[in-house]
Amino acid sequence: DKGNYRHFMQKEIYEQPEVVGHTLGAYVDMTSGRSRLPGEVALDFGAVRRMALSACGTGYYAALTGRYFFERYARIACDLDVASEFRYRESPLDGVDLALFVSQSGETADTLASLRYAKAAGLKTAAIVNVPESTIAREADAALPTLAGPEIGVASTKAFTCQLTALAALSVRAGVERGRISGAEEAELTRALSEAPRMIAEAFKLESQIEAIAREMTTHRHALFLGRGSSFPLALEGALKLKEISYIHAEGYAAGELKHGPIALIDETMPVIVIAPYDGVFEKTVSNMQEVAARGGRIILVTDEKGAKAAPVAAAATLVLPDMPEILTPIVYAVPLQMLAYHTAVHMGTDVDQPRNLAKSVTVE
């Protein structure tokens, strides 16, 4: 039931403060500020030094963000593949202590085949899954839940932010188990994560501004999304969301890759969405943004208050989120990108919840 919403996707975007909060509650004891594993899950990160992550589509972008979390907070090296490559890549998997899969449905054919491949290779497996009775949840050694509830819209929204939440909290747990994070740091990170629902609600306040940007977006046939560090996977996810439901051709790039090719595309007709929270790589992203501005590109900057003040070039539009701890930015910055894709698709008049050629769950190879 869509309730008062026009589309399931819109409803699911708006459910995010609640479901992200639920998911976090499974991985963090809010009273003590300690990270934990949900329910009966048995998984020990203490001896994990290298992980292989694999998934498809949006789940893959969640896993790619997870790599930034796990490498930074737990010092676990992460290999990453889309599942359709992992299963055929013939990686020796040397030194891999754990294979981690991410899937909303738990039924995606390539992800399931990759899980079975990892098990056959003798690896310990874990899967972050939204449907607890799914095949992947049943077959993984450790099933790690996201509590997003049923996701109906083909374009994944709330499942993605719940996956990011689970990955962030798990990386903190892993950091503690591996002795890389002190109790005080753990408390600080989990406190930061507990702000996610409130920060997502703050992002909703940008909706009318995003709607105006979306109206303009419909006049373009192409768009570029740029991000660095943990905002790089978001650039990929923002582009996927836009192409999936509005059919506008969009590409996401690591901002530093701009001058290695895609900069040739930039002119006045090219909207460039720059995702740049004021973090350790902000200055670098901004210098890429200047390269876009110098070539007349139409910049839409997604940043925070500090970033908006520090940005040296005027963007065509600036979406300003509150300043927030770094561990939160992927979760919160996903939301304006979802809303941008949603409103662009609505203006284009496409079938938002059932875009052409796509199925919610891809159970064939």
Q: Give the active site residues.
A: 360
Beta carbon of residue 9, minimum distance to ligand M6R (angstroms, whole number) = 10
End-to-end CA distance of the chain: give it in Å, rounded: 31
Name the minimum Å distance from CB 163 to ligand M6R. Answer: 8
- Contact call for residue 344 and ligand M6R (CB under 6 A): no
In angstroms, the CA 20 to CA 195 distance is 10
Say whether residue 155 binds ligand M6R (CB under 6 A). yes
Note the maximum CA span of the chain: 55
Residue 56 sits in the site that holds ligand M6R (CB under 6 A): yes
Compute the 3-state secondary structure of the chain and give helix, strand, coil in percent, each to the nearest 5: 50, 15, 35
Which residue's C-beta sits nearest to ligand M6R?
57
Q: Residue 350 interacts with ligand M6R (CB under 6 A)?
A: no
- Cβ burial, residue 208 (10 Å; 0-12/13-18/19+): exposed
Nearest to 176 by CA among 22, 347, 34, 20: 34
Closer residue to ligand M6R in complex, CB, 154/254: 154
**Residue 329 is a binding residue for ligand M6R (CB under 6 A):** no
The structure tokens 């070039």 sit at 313
Judged on CB neighbours under 10 Å (0-12, 13-18, 19+), 75 is: middle
Is 114 a binding residue for ligand M6R by CB under 6 A? The answer is: no
What are the CA-CA distances from residue 340 to residues 237, 270, 335 (Å)? 12, 16, 9
Residue selected from 103, 114, 146, 288 as contacting ligand M6R according to rule CB under 6 A: 103
Q: In whole angstroms, how close is the CB of 58 to ligand M6R at the nearest point?
A: 3
Q: Which 206-265 residues touch ligand M6R, going by CB under 6 A?
A: 244
Which of 35, 65, 84, 111 binds ligand M6R (CB under 6 A)? It is: 111
Find, among 365, 274, 272, 260, the residue nearest to 319 by Cα: 274
For 137, the token pair is 């949840």
Stretch that binds ligand M6R, among 101-109, 211-219, 256-264, 309-317 (CB under 6 A): 101-109
Stretch of 46-54, 99-107, 114-122, 259-267 contacting ligand M6R, by CB under 6 A: 99-107
Q: Which segment (19-27, 52-60, 277-285, 294-302) binds ligand M6R by CB under 6 A?
A: 52-60
CA 364 vs CA 33, 87, 110, 118, 131: distances in Å: 42, 14, 8, 19, 18
Query: Could you say whether residue 59 binds ligand M6R (CB under 6 A)?
Result: yes
45 secondary structure, DSSP code:
-
Measured distance CA(83)–CA(111) in Å, rounded: 5
The nearest distance, CB 156 to ligand M6R, in angstroms, is 4
338 in contact with ligand M6R (CB under 6 A) = no
Minimum CB separation from ligand M6R for residue 365, in Å?
Answer: 12
Output the smallest distance, CB 109 to ligand M6R, in A. 9
Instruction: Give yes or no for residue 108 binding ligand M6R (CB under 6 A).
Output: yes
Binding positions for ligand M6R, rule: CB under 6 A: 56-59, 103-105, 108, 111, 154-156, 244, 361-362
